[in-house]
Amino acid sequence: MSVVSGFSRTQVGIVGAGPAGLLLGHLLHLNGIDSVIVENRDREYVIDRVRAGVLEQGTVDLMRAMGVGGGLDRRGLRHEGVHISFGGRRHRIDFAELTGGKAITVYGQNEVVRDLIDARIETTRPLYFNAQDVRVSALDSPMPVIRFRHEGVEHDVQCDFIAGCDGFHGVCRPSIPEGLLTIYERTYPFGWLGILAEAAPSSDELVYTHHDRGFALFSMRSPAITRLYLQVPPDESIERWSDEAIWEEMLTRMTTADGWKPNVGRIVQKSVTPMRSFVAAPMRHGRLFLAGDAAHIVPPTGAKGMNLAASDVLVLAHALKAFYETASEEWLECYSTVCLRRVWKAQRFSWWMTTLLHQLPGESRFDRQRQLADLDYLTNSRAAMLSLAEQYVGLPSEVLFTSVGLQPRLPDPSPG
Ligand code: FAD
Ligand code: DHB
């Protein structure tokens, strides 16, 4: 039972210490704006959760400019292209050549989160893990409040603004009164079974595979760890899949006519994720601003989720900086509109990548041929390859880094 009460005051209360909440906290810190971050899980859980792996060029540039790109520069894997495999053949799309030198970087979300938690702790600004019973209230008043219990103490944090960065299952979006949000949603009749394996990646770049038995994806986390995904039914139980069955299916779908296939190794993590497209609009109610998965979900095929979280908070940091410096609410007013333009383009791209590459249950012979024609066009037309490349490496940012006081930085020189 809690016995003590703690009242505090901050400029921006941030709910959730995922990529969105931690990036926002650091951007605000760099601009001298106070924040309190409240997370309901413990630190190990937040770091160990295996999720995204692909950072757009803009996300990499942002982390570097924020001074949190050291780990990324040392351990991230820069990829200048990607393979699309169908009919047993791999076709390379050369991002760097098509986009004037842009690339993606493979760096696990858990590494991103670990680096950002370290940076937060160094600032000595408040970050509560294991917060219980987190609630937000007075959202349309000038002083919204975050309440939670931490180590037996009830906390009331009075804020100028609250950033709802608490993911799809968080408390912020459901705290907006009913009827004010429009929800756009699509679920898919499949999910992804993902594994991490102790096996050296057998390709330097990702391979997205279209196969009659369903989609498969080859990715990696380090020179010793391969990350692989398989299309499975949406409600598939992971218990149904022995390690042998997983490898057999991976190899069946991914092996190409030239003999390329993933290396097999000990599976150290496996799980099934459902797929959905979801947008809640507007991304604001009063003084609550939603960012990242709290406001939108994309199916993972385009690798956009974490990158969208980063783009949202860059716009939000810019809007908050403008407010504190000039008392202008102009950017806060257009936060949702600005973010949603990018969100919808990422939704369209992720939906297109998903429907291009997955086996669609109940599809007709016509649907199948259309999908193959789309793949044939994609891998033979420079215009189509350029379109994929510019979206995959990331569309230009809505706001300049200089608008949040950042200067673009070159990568840290690698040791040795
Ligand atoms: P989250 O990471 O969900 O963080 C929200 C935080 O809020 C969590 O720490 C949570 O514990 C906390 N929280 C929840 N409820 C509360 C509460 N009541 N009180 C306090 N805290 C709370 N994206 C990419 O960009 N590239 C990829 O390659 C990619 N691959 C993916 C692969 C898979 C299998 C999956 C599942 C996702 C993938 N994504 C990818 C998506 C990406 O992981 C998410 O979009 C990203 O985590 C969103 O960040 P966020 O900070 O908005 O939300
Ligand atoms: C990974 C995840 C994705 O959703 C994707 O499209 C590419 C790579 C990954 O986890 O490495």
Is a pLDDT exceeding 50 seen at residue 2?
no
State both tokens at 253. Answer: 């779908």
Give me the pLDDT at residue 72, please.
96
Rounded CA-CA distance 217/378 in Å is: 18
Distance of CA 52 from the midpoint of ligand 2 (Å): 6
* pLDDT tens per residue across span 205-229: 999 999 999 999 999 999 999 999 9
Q: Which atom of ligand 2 is nearest to the CA of 221?
A: 11
Rounded CA-CA distance 227/9 in Å is: 43
**Residue nearest atom 4 in ligand 1 by C-alpha distance:** 18
What percent of the chain is modeled with pLDDT above 70?
A: 98
Catalytic residue among 155, 285, 304, 318: 304
DSSP secondary structure, 360-409, as one string = -TT--HHHHHHHHHHHHHHHH-HHHHHHHHHHHS-PPPSS-GGGGT----
208 included as an active-site residue: yes
**Residue nearest atom 1 in ligand 2 by C-alpha distance:** 53
* pLDDT tens per residue across span 323-374: 999 999 999 999 999 999 999 999 999 999 999 999 998 989 999 999 999 9
Beta carbons within 8 Å of 257's beta carbon, 6+ residues apart: 88, 89
Rounded CA-CA distance 53/401 in Å is: 23
Alpha-carbon Rg for the chain in angstroms? 22
The three state secondary structure string of 221-232 is EECCEEEEEEEE
Please give the C-alpha separations between residue 47 and each of 19, 103, 354, 408, in angstroms, as whole numbers. 11, 25, 28, 27
Pocket of ligand 2 contains residue 300 by CB under 6 Å: yes
Rounded CA-CA distance 399/248 in Å is: 46
Cβ–Cβ < 8 Å for 16, 190: no
Give me the pLDDT at residue 414, please.
59
State both tokens at 128. Answer: 């509560």
Mean pLDDT within 300-319? 97
Rounded CA-CA distance 99/388 in Å is: 10
The mean pLDDT of the chain is 96
Strand segments, DSSP code E, in 96-250 are 104-106, 127-128, 132-137, 145-150, 153-164, 182-198, 207-209, 216-222, 225-232
392 included as an active-site residue: yes
Give me the pLDDT at residue 411, please.
81
What pTM was computed for the model? 0.96
- Whose tokens are 């997955």? That residue is 358
Pocket of ligand 1 contains residue 191 by CB under 6 Å: no
Pocket of ligand 2 contains residue 262 by CB under 6 Å: no
45 included as an active-site residue: no
* pLDDT tens per residue across span 243-299: 999 999 999 999 999 999 999 999 999 999 999 999 999 999 999 999 999 999 999
3-class state of residue 209 by DSSP: strand
* pLDDT tens per residue across span 178-202: 999 999 999 999 999 999 999 999 9
**Residue nearest atom 34 in ligand 1 by C-alpha distance:** 51
Rounded CA-CA distance 183/112 in Å is: 29
